[in-house]
Amino acid sequence: AKGARRVEASPISSTQELQLKYWTGLSQYLLEYSTFQLRTPSPQNWADFSLGKTNAFIRLANNTQSGKITAGICLYKNMKSLYDDIISQKESIEKRLRLSHDMGE
């Protein structure tokens, strides 16, 4: 086709390779042991999965330099009732995850 260009995949770095391996392994684990499902794993430092709501998702981020993984619940417009529900379950969530976290408003 006129104007069509062939796009070649650029090689990924060793860090991106590690990230892709991590998200792929986590995705396989979640498929086997939970009801959560990651979106298609990519060679990047974050991954999202659905909460079953149009305007909400969970985002995980993997910092390969510090070795830390962070998690957050991302809410968009008109999600105040879901936010209030999550805050009301703060203690239960922290206990189940065995952590303490600032779920500030």
Q: Which one has a higher pLDDT value, 55 or 7?
A: 55
pLDDT in tens, 11-55: 889 999 999 999 999 889 888 888 877 888 899 999 988 877 778
**Mean pLDDT of all residues in 3-12:** 68
Query: 86 with 40: CB under 8 angstroms?
Result: no
Q: Write out the two tokens for 88.
A: 């009301």
Strand partners, 53: 56
Query: Which pTM was predicted?
Result: 0.67
Domain map of the chain by residue range? 14-97
Percent of the chain with pLDDT over 90: 20
Give the pLDDT of residue 93: 77
Residue 87 confidence (pLDDT) above 90: no
